[in-house]
Amino acid sequence: MTGAEIIVQVLVDEGVQTVFGYSGGAILPTYDAVFRYNDEHRGDNGTAPLPLIVPANEQGAGFMAAGYARASGRVGVCMVTSGPGATNTVTPIRDSLADSVPMVVICGQVPTNVIGTDAFQEAPVSAIMGPVAKHVFLVTDPHQLEETVRTAFEIAAMGRPGPVVIDVPKDVQNWVGEFQGTGRLPIDAYRKRIDAAVGSEIPASAAKSFFDILRASKRPLIYAGGGVVSANASEALRAFARRFGIPVTTTLMGIGACDTTDPLALRMLGMHGAAAANYAVDDCDFLIAIGARFDDRVAAVPDKFAPKALKVAHFDIDPCEIGKVKAADWHNVGLLNRDLHQLIAWADSHALRTDFSAWHRELEELKRTYAMDYDRASPLIQPNYIIEQINLHTQGNAIITTGVGQHQMWSAQYFDFREPRLWLTSGSMGTMGFGLPAAIGAQLANPERLVIDIDGDASIRMNLGELETVTTYNLPIKIVVLNNYGDGMVKQWQKLYYQGRLSATDKSLHRKDFVRAAQADGFDYAVRLENKADVPKVIQEFVSFPGPAFLEVIIDRDAGVYPMVGPGMAYDQMITGDFIPSRQKVTVEQDPGSTSMF
């Protein structure tokens, strides 16, 4: 086989079903190999076994692969050419590393004999990608190509998932050699670390000490992060919470790990978390962190996070996260699914019973008193109302993707999610332009699911070219643009902390006609919604439309995201706005401080 054919064969052997990418000179041999493989193995109905989805831009391809991986749990694959093709994937690669998303990115590279000469469309991929990827391979020995590609999939999926980059010079793709059909690179140190985590079952003594803490607790609380979803441990988490009656709050990335409609669910905590969830964190006496990393959006002031917690327990697959931000009194590095079930088994064998009914009553009162709310009487369309109306149709069963900004937070606050992998958003990186291409990847991974991209007028601009990708492949994705004529989240901060100086964020004078843009890209359903009275009828039509559908909603320009925990603030300083009660009056500091984070 040629090197290009070897790459394609390994992709097939690894179970890859879709490849996202944009062609170019340095990757042409592999693209040609994909074409020939599909031509030779086409199904009876004419379907290609390895479809190649072509975006408008390589960044879109990267986010499509990430959306595919997030929605399916399988490794996403992106294939691009050298130089600008590769560098356009830097943002989705970093985004996937930050959110622990398994992805393999195959980059074409100039021939090995001209690497380092500033050849046409050459970029130092290893140097650029090294800091933002889980691992980078530059294949200079063609005899190691097959092992390298196979090992890349292993690294991407094992342990804490992440993106792996393979930089393949064109001459390596054209090389002809024998296909072995087996073999991986000798990454012994990495495999030993993974084996250590796999082998670290919770000993009986550690289980006993955990339950000693739990029995002494009156207000335990589970703080679940994206690691639960990545580890496919949602069912184990739910069984654990039910077995002991422990309430659950999740991070932005952990949404869906616990059914948001479950009585034990407190929804999201953090900077824009539910007030009841944040107050529960303040009140708990035993915090159990599962697959979470105490990031600054949740624990901006670590010493004041869960201030009444006498003990903290921490479960994770990554030993680097234990004690990184907040000290843990009890911890375990291992497989979440197995470890939670082991603790349940230990408790069952010792007939351990817990009763936190008094704590449950306290939390029910918190949820009633500090319920999410907004200006329901406003004549203007409130974004919260739009999401509530869509949620009436989806019932927590649709895949929701978002861009980044206010619309992202409203979606996290008001949508229900009955299962994991239904909520796809850029968490740690906060990348605008994520939502639309991620929805494409998610729809291809789950063709029978309803997929809805909730976007903002500023965020969708970043990858607006992917509208055409939706219609090119006739994907029945539903796209909502909540248009407040500007960068809403930044404007909210400018109003709170910069005396309302809307520097570079007010786009009210811009002339973008999103509906006509969608129509130009082939959307048969493209509607602008401006009147509040029309909302239920239009939402019904939009959600039930059988093909790609686009809806622009002109929302209240001054609508804010509340609750909000300001930069460098603790939960007792949470701003709840005009429609959600607060435990105490909070004064907004006009100067956010030179060391505060956005």
State pLDDT tens for residues 298-337: 999 999 999 999 999 999 999 999 999 999 999 999 999 9
**What is the chain's mean pLDDT, rounded?**
96
pLDDT for 363: 98
Indicate whether 149 pLDDT > 80. Answer: yes
565-587 pLDDT, tens per residue?
A: 998 899 999 999 999 999 988 87
166-208 pLDDT, tens per residue?
A: 999 999 999 999 999 999 999 999 999 999 888 888 999 999 9
3-state secondary structure of 380: coil
pLDDT for 597: 54
Give mean pLDDT, residues 29-48.
94
DSSP string, 161-208: --EEEEEEEHHHHH-B----S------HHHHHHHHHHHH-PPPHHHHH
> CA 62, CA 80: separation in Å to the nearest integer?
9
489 as an active site residue: the answer is yes
Indicate whether 588 pLDDT > 80. Answer: no
pLDDT for 451: 98
Q: Percent of the chain, pLDDT > 70?
A: 98
Q: One of 134, 170, 367, 491 is an active-site residue; which one?
A: 170
Q: Which helix (H) or strand (E) holds 109?
A: strand 103-109
Nearest to 345 by CA among 202, 535, 453: 202
Q: Which residue has the higher pLDDT, 125 or 511?
A: 125
Indicate whether 595 pLDDT > 60. Answer: no
Tokens of 351: 């007939």
pLDDT for 592: 58
pLDDT for 507: 85
Instruction: Respond yes or no on whether the N-terminal peptide bond of residue 307 is cis (omega within 30° of 0).
Output: no
315 as an active site residue: the answer is no
> CA 60, CA 360: separation in Å to the nearest integer?
44
478 as an active site residue: the answer is no
pLDDT for 198: 85
pLDDT for 46: 87
351-397 pLDDT, tens per residue?
A: 999 999 999 999 999 999 999 999 999 999 999 999 999 999 999 99
pLDDT for 43: 87
> CA 482, CA 455: separation in Å to the nearest integer?
6
Q: Provide the pLDDT confidence category of residue 469 given band limits of 50, 70 and 90.
A: very high
Structural domains for the chain: 3-196 (3.40.50.970), 200-369 (3.40.50.1220), 383-554 (3.40.50.970)
Q: One of 58, 147, 154, 388 is an active-site residue; which one?
A: 58
For tokens 């962190």, what's the residue?
289
Nearest to 248 by CA among 266, 273, 232, 275: 266
**Judging by beta carbons within 10 Å of its beta carbon (0-12, 13-18, 19+), is residue 508 exposed, middle or buried?**
exposed
> CA 430, CA 210: separation in Å to the nearest integer?
35
For tokens 């990608």, what's the residue?
129
Q: Provide the pLDDT confidence category of residue 509 given band limits of 50, 70 and 90.
A: confident
Give mean pLDDT, residues 427-436.
98
For tokens 């090119």, what's the residue?
472
Angle at alpha carbon of residue 406, lines to 562 and 374, rounded to 5°? 40
170 as an active site residue: the answer is yes
> CA 480, CA 387: separation in Å to the nearest integer?
10
- Asked if 378 contacts 357 with a C-beta cutoff of 8 angstroms, the reply is no
> CA 342, CA 332: separation in Å to the nearest integer?
12
Q: One of 17, 121, 144, 540 is an active-site residue; which one?
A: 121
Rg (CA), the chain: 25
pLDDT for 220: 98
208-264 pLDDT, tens per residue?
A: 999 999 999 999 999 999 999 999 999 999 999 999 999 999 999 999 999 999 999
Q: One of 489, 564, 569, 574 is an active-site residue; which one?
A: 489
413 as an active site residue: the answer is no
Q: Provide the pLDDT confidence category of residue 594 given band limits of 50, 70 and 90.
A: low
